[in-house]
Chains A and B, each alone.
Chain A
Amino acid sequence: MRRTATATRAADGPGSGGVAVGCVALVCAVAAGIAGAEPESGYLVIDSQPPAASVETVTGHRGVTPLSVARRDLYPNRYPQQRADLYGKVVIRKPGCADVVRRVTLDDIHDGLHVRLECSTPIPAGSAAADGARPSEVVERVSERRLRQLKVLQELLDEGIISAQQEAGIRRRILERQ
């Protein structure tokens, strides 16, 4: 640190030339970032029992289970005011079953959202309920669920919706889950 006795405006310092070079570097960095940008990160994996239930968020109908929903479809930066009640929530519907409305938590995003619908109509043959199990026993075997989740994951990877790195992370979590 140096205090001089005059107010001479020194010509040293970064100056406009140095700043211009910095601006160029800034632009290069941005360009590099754009070129290497990852697709939107963060998905909520949803499955239901029975499957093929429709899923709706504040941004509208997202598809049928099993599926994954982008985080920004749960938390869009802008949304119609008349749908504000659905912000951060998912509505899962299937004819003959009671609607399920769930506010999505960080745990759901981490672990996936697994919903069992309360249905009045008979569940198709082959399902656990149709095989005579009590409702509380209508729980998909963990291995089957893992298999289906991994299949969805592979589809997301194949379609380029998630990166290989993201896929590996989610796969690891699925396999480590008890």
Chain B
Amino acid sequence: MAASPDRPRCIVLIGVLLLLPALWPTVGQAMPEFARKYSMSCAACHAAFPRLNQFGEYFRDNNMRLPNWRDTTLDTGDEQLALPPYPPLAVRAQAYAQARTGKSIDPISGETLDSSSDFQSPYLVKLLSSAPLSDHITYYFYGIFAEKGGNGETVIEDAWFRHDDLFGSGIGMQLGQFQISDLMFARETRLPFQDYMVYRMAGITYDRGVLFDRSVGRFDLGLGLVNGNGIEQNFDINSPGYRRPDKMFDNNSDKSVFGRIGTDLGPVNVGLFGLSGEQKNATGPAGTESGDRDTDKWIAGVDVSGDVNGKTYWYAQYLWNSWQDFLDDGKDYNWWGGFVGVDHILNERWVLSALYNLADADDLDNTDTIYEGIDINSLSLTASYYFMRNVKAVAEANIDFLGEDDQSGTYYTGHLDKEYYILLGFDAAF
């Protein structure tokens, strides 16, 4: 919809909507699935939903269970059966309205879609489920319905089994779909709407594989293997014959290997991350197509985080990336990025957050490909108001410090527009 003289009224309306939460009634309690199962407040695990507090991190690391988990199962009289008394389901739903400067531009033709204001409602509806199944095995999954406007779609993202003591070794093993970046900072438990952009750009979000973890003295170790091609591909296995039932999920035999070693240095948690893997080269107009060459990909990173009295949480991530032979054979493309964020819990109602994303496309600059768009320099300021422990209003403004690129070369790539936005909406889990 084109902009109109009504814009000032819209801005006033946005202002009124922003002020509404301050007038909202008070008090309540949240009842998502773990709270239901263990008869605990959401506040037991969340400093402010969805951010985990110290106990929430313990609960997560303890295979998402409390010691009395067996008391929460159905008494079938069979010691070899630990069924939840009801399907352990929970829902998370988000709905937003947004005003923005960014547009959808076809990088090849330049065709433009411009929606400066947008109702993103529902932004997503998630169905989550998790429960302990035995003394050492827990499952967790969630599916997203209509994520980001993709109505008619259902996407399974996190979906895994985890054994917390493999062969009595103290080693945990998680098999399934998960985010590689969860080893550092879990995107799903961030407070801002804005993403941890470098994780998306580096391609270390969802993948299929296995993750081993163990604590050794003061150090936490994580080591994983993933297919490296995301969570959307599968291929028929037809060489043995006609209509064989199985599928290949990976498109090659090589796996991406990654790991993190972390420790506490005083009040600061520090981690070092590394990944070695492969990806298909980019080719075609503006680099939008996947080529036939398997190219090497290296990532090294450092993350730090901490909190002040459980009131102010801060975190920072830096990632260096080397995509070898990614565009032209024989040439390495190095780039880097990171983010810094802080969440401050003012009280039981208000949480303020700031997230600064910075990335430099570096060797991918001036390649006339979509990868020029790795450049980002933005600050997101977020206010979250909790009507209840599990229902909040979110107001966020994104400020873009990066200068606009003039279209040059053959294609429409790079930072062609500022990415200012204002976003208002609701986020709930129940």
Which residues of chain A from 64 to 79 have a CB within 8 Å of any chain B CB? Answer: 71-72, 74-79
Interface residue from B3, B11, B345, B404 paired with A21 (Cβ < 8 Å): B11
Question: Which B residues touch A177, using CB under 8 A?
Answer: none
Q: Is the CB of A107 within 8 A of B39?
A: yes
Q: Is the CB of B3 within 8 A of A13?
A: yes
State A6–B348 Cα separation when bound (angstroms). 49
Q: Is A127 an interface residue (CB 8 A)?
A: no
User: Known: A22-B14, A78-B309, A106-B39. Is A42-B422 also a contact (CB below 8 A)?
Assistant: no
Interface segment among B22-30, B140-148, B192-200: the answer is: B22-30
State A174–B102 Cα separation when bound (angstroms). 55
Which residues of chain B from 342 to 359 have a CB within 8 Å of any chain A CB? Answer: 345-350, 352
Q: Is the CB of A169 within 8 A of B27?
A: yes
State A28–B17 Cα separation when bound (angstroms). 11
Most central of B53, B412, B422 by chain A CB within 10 Å: B422
Question: Which B residues touch A8, using CB under 8 A?
Answer: 112
State A130–B314 Cα separation when bound (angstroms). 57
Question: Which B residues touch A6, using CB under 8 A?
Answer: 110, 112
**Least Cβ–Cβ distance between B43 and chain A, in angstroms:** 5
Question: Which B residues touch A4, using CB under 8 A?
Answer: 111-112, 114
Q: Is the CB of B44 within 8 A of A75?
A: yes
Q: Is B55 an interface residue (CB 8 A)?
A: yes
Interface residue from B18, B35, B115 paired with A29 (Cβ < 8 Å): B18
Q: Is the CB of B407 within 8 A of A18?
A: no
Q: Is B255 an interface residue (CB 8 A)?
A: no
Q: Is the CB of A14 within 8 A of B53?
A: no
Which residues of chain B from 325 to 370 have a CB within 8 Å of any chain A CB? Answer: 345-350, 352
**Least Cβ–Cβ distance between A37 and chain B, in angstroms:** 5
Q: Is B47 an interface residue (CB 8 A)?
A: yes
User: Known: A30-B352, A75-B41, A77-B54. Is A19-B21 also a contact (CB below 8 A)?
Assistant: no
Q: Is the CB of B58 within 8 A of A84?
A: yes
Q: Is the CB of B99 within 8 A of A22?
A: yes
Q: Is A137 an interface residue (CB 8 A)?
A: no
Which residues of chain A from 27 to 55 have a CB within 8 Å of any chain B CB? Answer: 28-30, 32-42
State A104–B26 Cα separation when bound (angstroms). 23
Q: Is A160 an interface residue (CB 8 A)?
A: no
Q: How many residues of A contact B (CB 8 A)?
A: 57
Question: Which A residues touch B25, using CB under 8 A?
Answer: 165
Q: Is B101 an interface residue (CB 8 A)?
A: yes
Q: Is A142 an interface residue (CB 8 A)?
A: no
Nearest residue in B to A165 (C-beta to C-beta)?
A: B26
State A42–B113 Cα separation when bound (angstroms). 48
State A63–B19 Cα separation when bound (angstroms). 39
Q: Is the CB of A41 within 8 A of B397?
A: no
User: Known: A4-B111, A13-B101, A169-B27. Is A40-B347 also a contact (CB below 8 A)?
Assistant: yes
Nearest residue in B to A166 (C-beta to C-beta)?
A: B27
Q: Is A172 an interface residue (CB 8 A)?
A: no
User: Known: A5-B111, A29-B18, A41-B27. Is A22-B397 also a contact (CB below 8 A)?
Assistant: yes
Nearest residue in A to B349 (C-beta to C-beta)?
A: A37
Known: A41-B27, A77-B311. 9 other contacts (CB 8 A): A22-B11, A26-B18, A29-B15, A37-B346, A38-B348, A42-B43, A77-B307, A106-B31, A163-B26
Residues of B near any A CB (own CB < 8 A): 1-3, 7, 11, 14-15, 18-19, 21-23, 25-27, 29, 31, 35, 39-41, 43-44, 47, 53-55, 58, 99-101, 103, 105, 110-117, 307, 309-311, 345-350, 352, 381, 383, 385, 395-399, 404, 407, 412, 416-418, 420-422
Residues of A near any B CB (own CB < 8 A): 1-10, 12-16, 18-19, 21-26, 28-30, 32-42, 71-72, 74-79, 84, 87-88, 104-107, 109, 163, 165-166, 169
10 residue pairs, one from A and one from B, having the closest CB atoms: A77-B310, A7-B110, A25-B15, A78-B310, A13-B116, A22-B422, A29-B18, A12-B3, A77-B53, A105-B39
Q: Can you report 23 residue pairs joining A to B where beta carbons are below 8 Å apart?
A: A1-B113, A9-B404, A12-B114, A13-B99, A13-B100, A23-B381, A25-B18, A26-B18, A26-B383, A30-B383, A32-B19, A33-B385, A34-B350, A37-B347, A75-B43, A77-B47, A77-B54, A78-B53, A78-B309, A84-B58, A105-B40, A106-B39, A165-B27
